[in-house]
Each structure stands twice: as structure tokens, then as C-alpha cells.
Structure 1
Amino acid sequence: MSDSAAARLQQLFEGHRLTPTQRRIAHSMVRRAVDVPFLSSVELAELAGVSQPSVTRFAVALGFDGYPALRRHLREVTPTESGGGSEKDAYNEYQQAVQGEIENLRHLSELLADPAPIERAGRLLAASRPLLVLGLRAASSQARGFTYFAAKVHPDVRLLDEGGTMLADRIDAARRAGASTLLCFALPRHPKEVVEALEYARSAGLTVVTVADSAFAPVAGHSDLLIPAAVGTGLAFDTACAPMLLGRVLLEAMCDDLPDAQARLEAFDAQAAARGLFIE
């Protein structure tokens, strides 16, 4: 993907209040920024997994008369570095899903060329005692995975992977105990409870760091620092290789700001060996 083409699309979408369906279209266009000026409305609809009328309404929401006008605009501002046939046509549907994730990881690599947001996030996560990690429904596995490894180096990590009325109580308890930061994993479909929890956390004085599938995710307005990592949409259920890897990158950045992280890891390894936890 051309990073400059993706950036131009991001600018085009900024300042518009988009519906969840429209955010999905925008996300798909960013992922295929170079190809999208050459796609028909039907092809874009198939790419985003929405209806063709949804694509038309999306173009109108951006201020164009319809999708043809939006496509003409994109052709005028996008260099012709792509064109017709694509290698993807040679892949079956399962390979296309893998190729889509490779593209997501490539985009994440481009994003990480500027390490400043990751380094800032690492400092925030390391300094929070306790550290809250939120992930509901589809994002719960990402939150659990992060928490499992973070607990090996961070003295107090608290997982929030269940919604309900107790969620605010647990945020309050962590805040009283000294928590300063909440890390949120937010993936589609975005539960209403996540948005409400982030709004509540910020009102309680917590800084919110979010890993989301897109900069246009519903949680964006409730995050102090959002780092996007796209999900794959080529299969019946979304795949989340890039968000998982971004979570590990954040772990690394957090470890860099925890002076006793290495000592804690060595202590865990010694204890694990003494208890015979793993089969080597």
C-alpha cells in the first residue's frame, strides 16, 4: 500500500461523522488506498462487506454527488501507480485472507516508522500502578494475551474482560489504588459498553491508550492515544494478527520503561524451572 495514498484518504475522512458501516468502508479504502480509485461501487461494496447503496450513501456523506464523483476525485489526487490486474486474483479465498493480513502487517510496519506514539504508550503503561487492561467480546483474547505476559514484568495488572455493572466498580477500585492508565483493545463489532467504559475511565482521571482496528473506530473520541492496527475481513470472522502484534510491541515498549523487567523475567524462569511448569 502506498503510505501517501493512505494518508490522503485519512485526510479526506477527517471531520466527518461516519456510521459504523461507513467506517468499515473507509477502513477498507485505506487498506487498498492505491487500488480504490479504480474500483467500482460494487467492487468496493464487496471489499468492505456492505451493500452497494451503502457505498453511495458513504460518498454523499463525504460531500460528493455520488460514488462516481468520489472516484473521479480520488483519480485526480492519487498517482497512477496501480492499475488493473492484481496478483490476488491468483489466490484462493484462504490465501487471500492470509495476503490481507500480510498487507495489514505491512501497514503496521509503516506506522511504526515513527516510534514516538509507541514509546509514549510504553511510558504510560509502565508508570500506572495498577495497570488496567480492557477488552470485551472479540477483543477479550487480545486483552487476556497482553495481561498474561504483562503480569510477568509489571507488578499489578488488572484484566477487564467482562462487561456489566461491575465494570465501573472495578475502574473505581483501580483508580483508588493509584491507577493512572487504562489500555483498551477495541475490535469490531464495537460493544457499546466499551465506549461507555472509556468515557467513564477518562471522567475518573485515567489516561486511555487504545489499540483499535481503525483511526475511525467509535472509541477514537474517548481515547487519549489511539494506535490503529487493521483487522482482516476476508473470512466469515475477522482476523486480528496486526492488533495482536501491536500488543506485543506495546509490551516491549513497556518493558523498556520498567527497570526491573529483566529481573522479574529471570525470577519467573527460575521459579518455573523449580516447579517443573514447562516441558522443554
Structure 2
Amino acid sequence: MNKSMKILDRVREVYPSLSKSQRLIADSILENWENTAFVSPRELGERLGVSETTVIRFAKTLGYSGFSELREHSQNLIKEKLTPAEKMSATVQKIKSGETTFDRLLTTEVENLKDGISKVSADEFYKAVDLIENAQRVFIAGQGVSEALCKFLEFRFRRMQIDTRPVTVGGKAFYETLLLMKDEDVLFGIGFFRCSQDILRSFDYARKNCIPTIALTHSSVSELALKSEVTLVANRGPVSLLNSLVVPMAILNALVLYIAERDEEKLKALKKLDEIPDIFGFNGKH
């Protein structure tokens, strides 16, 4: 198959020859092909009520070697089509046209949060808690918009006296900090669509050196998730629009609260902050 051919054109071309089950997959792609980039064949099959084998066979019918190649092609097309500027433009256009009002924007955030909750694996969440509790230090890596999430997590962890090392700068300094990691530490990486190559390389380095990893990312099959030991999936809304940080922030907040609830020493550390004026001999005023 000519890989430059658009996915939708190829689906329409083979549609008449598809089985009933395969047409369910085809209809899903024709309605929202972008979602194909962020699911596994098992997840797509469960969503549509067909088997994982049917999904894989469908991908082969389109001319791909398997579903992984179809997914990769979808991701590449999105990267070519949807730059951050285009996402912002599309979102602003919806507001200008009246299609999206202030109330609707907030309602969408609530809907994303509800949908996001259903995608977070409780098992993965508790594994993340265990890794952080047992870690000597937590290295938090993220760049771009993810840096804001890193700063939030760093602030909360430091207040609980968790030894935290942010890794958010680019260039040589990024890699110099990674060299400090040991196998008793944990690397917590935050990256979504168009994840930084620095972050991806940091996970390769961690795996090579037996350093536990946790990823906060948009899909269980994202580039970052596939390199991570534990994955927290954070739905950020439609990839064609400016993405929200509501769900990622909610997951991080829940993580912080759960760690504090499980470890009494963490709560004591927070309470000790109230004693700073007495400890250092001032009344709390600058």
C-alpha cells in the first residue's frame, strides 16, 4: 500500500469487501480516525464489541503489516497535520463561531475529567504510589507544557520531604541530571503527544540502568508508555483541539493525597511547615 494514501480513502476503498465486524471498525475510523492513534487492538476491539484478532486482520486488509503499523501511520499523520498553533486556531474558531461557549468549555472539562477517571488503571496507580514511597529520590522529567505539571508535583513532594529532582531544562544540563540517578531512585516522566525526545531518551537510559519508571501520558500505547514500567493514562480531550491539563492535574493531585494518607511521616512533614516561624525565630512576616 502507498503509505502516502490517506487512511480514510483506503478505508472507503475496501469498505464494500469488509465483513460485518470489520465494518464496525471501519465506521469507527471514518467517524474519528484520530482515535486509532492512541489505542491498542484489544482496547479498540472491546470498545466496538469485536475480537482483537478481527482488529488486527482489519489493519492487514488496509495493507499494513499489523495494527501497530496502522497506529504509527495515524500518529505520523496527526503530527504532520496538527501543530500546537493549528490546535489553538481550531479551538478559537469554535469559540468565535458560537459552537463553543464559556459554559460549554467548562462542561467539556468536566466530561473529560469523568472520561479520564475511567481510563486510569487502579493497579497502575497503586504501583506508582509504591514506587514513589520506596524510592530514595524522585526525578521528575517533563518539558514544554508538561513542565507546569512537573513544578506542581515537585512542590507537593518537597513539602512532604520527598527528595525530588526536577529535570525540565533542555540541552546538556538535562542529561547531566539524569546521570545522578541510581537504581534505588524512580524516574517520573510527563509527556503527551509530540513527547520530547529528551524524555524518551531518559526512559531508555532508566531501563538500561534498572531504574524504575512512571509515565503520565495520554495513552497506554503512547511512545512514552511503551517505555515505562508503570503508566498513568491522562485523557486530555480531542487531539484536534487545544488540550487540557485538568485530567493530568487531577491524577497528580490524587497521587499526592494518597501518598500522604498512606504515610504518616509525610503528614508530619506538612504539619512541621506550620512550625517554621518558631523553629527559625520569626513571626511569619517578611
TM-score bucket (shorter structure): 0.5 to 0.7
Question: Aligned pair count?
Answer: 210
Amino acid in the other structure paired with 1:106: K
Task: Give distance in 1, aligned partners of 2:198 and 2:283.
Answer: 40
Query: Residues 19-168 of structure 1: matches in 2 within 5 Å?
Result: 41=30, 43-44=31-32, 62-65=59-62, 92-94=99-101, 95-111=103-119, 115-168=122-175
Query: Residues 241-260 of structure 1: matches in 2 within 5 Å?
Result: 241-260=246-265
Task: Give distance in 1, aligned partners of 2:174 and 2:131.
Answer: 21
Q: Is the 8 A contact 1:126 1:255 kept in 2?
A: no
Residue ranges of structure 1 left out of the alignment (5+ in a row): 1-20, 23-34, 51-58, 67-90
Decide whether aligned partners of structure 1 residues 275 and 151 sit closer, same or farther in structure 2, where only a CA change above 3 A counts: farther
**Counterpart among 182, 185, 188 of residue 190 in structure 2:** 185
Task: Give distance in 2, aligned partners of 1:189 and 1:151.
Answer: 29
Q: Is the 8 A contact 1:198 1:223 kept in 2?
A: yes
Q: Is the 8 A contact 1:210 1:223 kept in 2?
A: yes
**Counterpart among 213, 216, 221 of residue 221 in structure 2:** 216
Q: Deviations over 1:130-179 (max 9, x none)?
A: 1111111121111111111110113311111112222222122132xx74
In the TM superposition, residue 236 of structure 1 has moved relative to its aligned partner by: 5.1
Task: Give distance in 2, aligned partners of 1:61 and 1:197.
Answer: 35
Task: Give distance in 2, aligned partners of 1:264 and 1:155.
Answer: 9
Query: What TM-score results when the alignment is normalised by the length of structure 1?
Result: 0.63
Say which is worse superposed, 245-254 or 228-237, in terms of deviation. 228-237
Amino acid in the other structure paired with 1:108: G
Decide whether aligned partners of structure 1 residues 169 and 205 sit closer, same or farther in structure 2, where only a CA change above 3 A counts: farther
Amino acid in the other structure paired with 2:185: S
**Counterpart among 262, 268, 273 of residue 273 in structure 2:** 268
Q: Is the 8 A contact 1:150 1:157 kept in 2?
A: yes
Decide whether aligned partners of structure 1 residues 235 and 154 sit closer, same or farther in structure 2, where only a CA change above 3 A counts: farther
Task: Give distance in 2, aligned partners of 1:261 and 1:180.
Answer: 18
Amino acid in the other structure paired with 1:246: I
Task: Give distance in 2, aligned partners of 1:271 and 1:262.
Answer: 15
Decide whether aligned partners of structure 1 residues 203 and 257 sit closer, same or farther in structure 2, where only a CA change above 3 A counts: farther
Q: Secondary structure at the match of 1:121?
A: helix
Query: What TM-score results when the alignment is normalised by the length of structure 2?
Result: 0.62
Decide whether aligned partners of structure 1 residues 123 and 237 sit closer, same or farther in structure 2, where only a CA change above 3 A counts: same
Say which is worse superposed, 99-108 or 261-270, in terms of deviation. 99-108
Q: Is the 8 A contact 1:138 1:188 kept in 2?
A: no
Q: Deviations over 1:168-211 (max 9, x none)?
A: 22122132xx7421111112221111111111122122100111
Amino acid in the other structure paired with 2:123: A
For the pair shown, the structure with the greater C-alpha radius of gyration is 2
Q: Deviations over 1:43-72 (max 9, x none)?
A: 526x77x9xxxxxxxx99823449xxxxxx
Residue ranges of structure 2 left out of the alignment (5+ in a row): 1-5, 8-23, 38-55, 64-97
Q: Is the 8 A contact 1:143 1:185 kept in 2?
A: yes
Amino acid in the other structure paired with 1:253: Y
Decide whether aligned partners of structure 1 residues 247 and 155 sit closer, same or farther in structure 2, where only a CA change above 3 A counts: closer
Equivalent residue for 2:45? Answer: none
Amino acid in the other structure paired with 1:110: S
Task: Give distance in 2, aligned partners of 1:241 and 1:109.
Answer: 11
Runs of 4+, deviation exceeding 6 Å? 35-40
% identity of equivalent residues: 14
Amino acid in the other structure paired with 2:143: L
Task: Give distance in 2, aligned partners of 1:234 and 1:93.
Answer: 16
